[in-house]
Structure 1
Amino acid sequence: MTDRLNAVLEKIDAANAKDPDGASLIYGQRMSAELARLFGTDVSEVLQIAARGQHIERWLSKRRDYPEGRAGYLQWRRDLGRAHGERLAGLMADAGYGAEDCARVGVLLRKEGIKRDAEVQALEDTICMVFMKWYFADFSKKHADEKVLGIVTKTARKMSADMRARVLQEFDLPGDYVEALKAA
């Protein structure tokens, strides 16, 4: 790990350690671990930074500050991607990364080129696997089966075919969820 990468990851962790419920720090560490597990340690530094900082200071932007419904939710998510990209670009610039790398982290976080850009897809696959591994069980207990099936379907559509196959291998899912993954 280069000194500048280590410096940025430490700053992300320090920022996320201020999260009142501690969720952002844990999430970032899980993202880094899962990225390494899925894609090895030979991925770009920008991708490693995007994974670790995907939710940097997320608690500062509240969902409740946006209108109810899908349109409000999507606007909140777009604003988060932009804000996280800008925050990480600033940390990267401070550590000596060039303008191209600083711009690239925003592309990854805004998920520009999903299904066409290998790094954007790797980040999305990592996000989906982290959700499945650490958050799906609790989520599925809190929501009706119909909603959970819808989320599984949407998640599967965002994943690469290889990652959908890994989900089927690594997780014991009910039949409807398996079919949703296969149909995607």
Structure 2
Amino acid sequence: MAFSFKNLYLGKTIDMSEKLQQAFERFDAYNKNDPNRFTWKGQDYPQEYFLALKLHEWVRKLDPQASQQLLLASRSQHIGRWESPRKNYPMDRSGYLLWRKELAQHHATTAGKILRELGYDETTMLATQQIILKRKIKVEADVQTMENALCLVFLQFQYADFFPKHEDKIVDILRKSLLKMDAHGHQFALQLPYSEAGLAHIQAALALLAAKGQ
């Protein structure tokens, strides 16, 4: 089915500077190179391109007055993710943690290079990278908004396919994800449509958080 990349992004009425729009276009062009595909409502997209647009939409919804650096980070949070596959690291916890750390740095470095090429100042570039690296979660508002948005993208677009494959540990996975969110993020999470089983897992995870005073 034919589609227009422009039609996928819903935020057409946002008043944004020309430079910000140029950054979005550069990030999008990079992510359209993702060889991995994501199918949504019968249409096929480069995975990280699709997810970046949806992350951006969630950030705008969570924070209508989002800062420039938060908007930039939302469109480049996982830029070039396919370039550092998990299989290139040891398949144990230490390998996983190293992969996550180096992957985040890859995203920040790639986004920073594009911002420099567009003439962004060092302060804006570094602030954007700090959000991408998720430094000071629960302290910095922009980082917390990003974490909320990341979890909401997962819940809206990936959770339904994910949880049936991980029934034995899905409640704990959700608990850890929901713990990173705040009350504002939880409100949106509970408004999403889920299957009966999917909702039950989320409610169980929230109950665990409440029981542990988290």
Report deviation, 1:110: 1.1
Deviation for aligned residue 1:113: 0.3
1:74 aligned to 74, 82, 97, which one? 97
Q: Contact 1:8 / 1:95 at 8 angstroms: preserved in 2? A: yes
Q: Which runs of 5+ in 1 are unaligned?
A: none
> Equivalent pairs: percent with the same residue?
32
Query: Which of 45, 57, 68 is matched with 1:33 structurally?
Result: 57
Match for 2:63: what amino acid? F
Match of 1:147 among 169, 173, 189: 169
Higher CA-based Rg? 2
Give the corresponding residue for 1:170.
192
Provide the secondary structure at the position in 2 that maps to 1:86.
Answer: helix
Pairing of 1:111-130 with structure 2 (within 5 A): 111-130=134-153
Q: 1:113 to 1:163 in 2, by over 3 A?
A: same
Give the number of aligned pairs: 182
Distance 1:146 1:161 in 2: 26
Query: Is the CA contact 2:56–2:71 (under 8 Å) kept in the aligned structure 1?
Result: yes
Deviation, 1:178, is 3.8
Instruction: Using structure 1 for the length normalisation, give the TM-score.
Output: 0.93
Task: Please report how far the alpha carbon of residue 165 of structure 1 lies from its aligned counterpart in structure 2 after TM superposition.
Answer: 3.1
- Over residues 116-163 of structure 1, what are the superposed CA-to-partner deviations in whole Å (9 max), with x where a residue is unaligned? 0001111111101111111111110221x2311111011011101221
Q: 1:136 aligns with which of 151, 159, 168?
A: 159
Normalising by structure 2, what TM-score? 0.80
Q: Counterparts of 2:154 and 2:118 in 1: how far apart (Å)?
A: 30
Q: State the Cα RMSD in Å.
A: 1.5
Q: Deviations over 1:10-32 (max 9, x none)?
A: 01110111111211110111111
Tell whether 2:6 aligns with 1:6: no
Bigger share in helix: 1
Stretches of structure 2 that go unaligned for 5 or more consecutive residues are: 1-15, 37-45
In the alignment, is the contact (CA less than 8 A) between 1:152 and 1:180 conserved in 2? Answer: no
Contact 1:156 1:180 in 2 (8 A): no
- Indicate conservation of the 8 Å contact 1:81/1:106, yes or no: no
Give the distance between the partners of 1:76 and 1:133, measured in 2 at CA. Answer: 25
Bigger RCO of structures 1 and 2 (CA < 8 A, at least 6 apart): 1
In 1: Cα distance, 2:189 partner to 2:57 partner: 17
Q: CA deviation at 1:69?
A: 1.7
CA distance in structure 2 between the aligned counterparts of 1:100 and 1:122, rounded to whole angstroms: 20
Match of 1:92 among 92, 99, 115: 115
